[in-house]
Amino acid sequence: MINKFKTIAISRTDNIGDVVLALPVAGIIRQYYPEAEIIFIGKAYTRAIIESSVFVDRFLDRDEIIANPSLLQALNIDVIIFVFPDHPLATLARKAEIKMRVGSFRKMHHLWNCTHRINFTRRRSDLHESQLNLKLLKPLGIAIEIEKTAIPPLYGMKKLAPLPERLNKFLNTDKFNLIIHPKSNGHGKEWPPLKYAELCNQLPPDDFNIIFTGTQKEGEFIKENFQSLFQKFPSIHNAAGQMNLEEFISFIAAADGLLASGTGPLHVAAALGKLSVGFFPPMAPVFSQRWENLGEKAFHFELEECLYHHQCKKMKPCKCIESIEVDEVVTLLLREAKKK
């Protein structure tokens, strides 16, 4: 294809998992416009995710652009794609006179801020989030639909920082290194602590090295709920609050697998080709149909239908997530660990 676009910007200014699932937009653009510079605009705390992709040439901090709008003009961007609606950023893109500004038809502010508005619905679609994102590429002459199995090679998360030496103490090369990330920062329905504890008691310590991870804030929850495990098993560790995102990505890459609800680290593990095992509730729009982890070794657990007539939307914790049996998860982990 003739490269009529020299600089293409992708904007996804929300959370880690959402950003991971937007990376395939860059992967597809690279296939169609191999010579174009691909810029990814995101929040500062997702920078490590974005810069890990071989398909992205440059990261731009959303807040820096808001503070200094001349950044958009200086880059001579030909196209900006708002994968996630961002009213202030879209306004600045219009004022910067970026020629092609692509966004959802369903956001009112895109009526005057975007030159191209794509009419599709996320909430009522049967497609996965990563597939829906690709619909926004139609104005670039990229009108394709791909299967979910074609998504993993499009992440491109291959530019990883070396793992700091201080984190090697949590890993054991003679065992299956399993990360358990029990919290979701409020972004997912969570499997209960008692289930994680039961799982840890069932996994053979001679075969599994288990590392609990989370933010510094989540570290208190982990310490409160799993302290007895740390005292009982030398093969179970608490690494919560001890890594920044760049280090956490490298740590996931160095481990063998990760267990979590439908949250950012689950998608990172899937994108890195690691064993990723997720828990999802059977209800739109947070079900696996929209948000499942996609990767070479990606698995998830989800009931076929809501047992509580969709009352889980109003219930915390989610009873359907709680109904996922520990034995099923243990069986999967034992099977996959044998393949190491």
- Domain end point (choices 100, 128, 154): 154
The whole-number pLDDT of residue 314 equals 63
CA atoms within 13 Å, Cβ hemisphere of 8: 25
Among the residues of the chain, which ranges form H helices? Answer: 16-20, 23-32, 47-51, 62-67, 70-74, 87-95, 110-113, 129-133, 193-202, 216-232, 245-254, 264-271, 288-291, 319-322, 326-337
Together in a domain, 141 and 58: yes
Six-digit token pair at 81?
Answer: 């794609």
Number of H helices, E strands in the chain: 15, 12
The answer to whether residue 101 sits within a structural domain is: yes
Together in a domain, 187 and 275: yes
CA distances for 257 relative to 125, 212, 281, angstroms? 30, 12, 21
- List pLDDT tens digits, range 95-143: 999 999 999 987 888 889 999 999 888 877 889 999 999 999 999 999 9
The answer to whether residue 2 sits within a structural domain is: no
**How many other CB atoms are found less than 10 A from the CB of residue 223?**
14
Handedness of CA 112, 113, 118, 123 (dihedral sign): negative
- Domain end point (choices 89, 120, 154): 154
The whole-number pLDDT of residue 1 equals 46
Q: For residue 216, what are the domain limits?
A: 169-337
- List pLDDT tens digits, range 248-272: 999 999 999 999 999 999 999 999 9
Together in a domain, 148 and 26: yes
Number of domains in the chain: 2
Together in a domain, 226 and 313: yes
pTM of the model: 0.95
* Mean pLDDT computed over 318-326: 91
The answer to whether residue 288 sits within a structural domain is: yes
* Mean pLDDT computed over 212-236: 95
Average pLDDT, the chain: 94
- List pLDDT tens digits, range 164-197: 999 999 999 999 999 999 998 877 789 999 999 9
